[in-house]
Amino acid sequence: MSTPRRLLLVNGPNLNLLGTREPDVYGHDTLADVEALVTATAAERGFEVRAVQSNHEGVLIDAIHAASADCAGIVINPGGLTHTSVVLRDALAAVALPVAEVHISNVYEREAFRHHSYVADVASVHVIGEGVAGYATATQQLLDNLT
């Protein structure tokens, strides 16, 4: 059976507010801009993207579970769930797909509670603090690992 030519892009809570939420931290690009960037980056390598954003942890977990049927990997910015959600981490581990963790800001230069990521140990790619452009970097690195 061949590997699916699709990635799941997951954006967690509050990322729907990109472009207006703390632009000094997150910039002026919107979630639509992020999704377009990842879609274009993946398309350069012949991959499609299914994007999901939710402020509800269970919706994200359901999307991750579903990805095991038709995705080759996951690009995820868990937002604040990075630092709090063992169940999100467990969902990523359970589907056993390659994972790229991305954060727009440099979480290590922010509040101390942001320094720990529950996702870090299940992700093979980590892109931190490159702004929205980091999504393209994460996608490229994930695809490098897949192909």
pLDDT at 82: 92
DSSP string, 26-46: H-S--HHHHHHHHHHHHHTTT
> Catalytic residue numbers?
26, 103
What mean pLDDT do residues 13-41 have? Answer: 92
Number of domains in the chain: 1
At 86, which CATH number? Answer: 3.40.50.9100
pLDDT band for position 21 (50/70/90)?
Answer: confident
Chain centroid to CA 50: 12
83 known member of a binding site: yes
83 in any annotated domain: yes
pLDDT band for position 78 (50/70/90)?
Answer: very high
64 in any annotated domain: yes
Let me know the angle formed at the C-alpha of 108 by 106 and 112, rounded to the nearest 5 degrees: 130
1 in any annotated domain: no
6 known member of a binding site: no
> 79-132 pLDDT, tens per residue?
999 988 999 999 999 999 999 999 998 877 777 776 789 999 999 999 999 999
79 in any annotated domain: yes
74 in any annotated domain: yes
Of 129, 104, 141, nearest in space to 7 by CA: 141
Distances (CA, A) of 76 to 10, 13, 61, 82, 144: 5, 12, 12, 10, 16
> 31-71 pLDDT, tens per residue?
999 999 999 999 999 999 999 999 999 999 999 999 999 99
Q: Residue 11: give the domain boundaries.
A: 6-146
89 known member of a binding site: no
29 known member of a binding site: no
111 in any annotated domain: yes
β-bridge mates for residue 101, sequence order: 76, 126
pLDDT band for position 2 (50/70/90)?
Answer: low
pLDDT at 84: 86
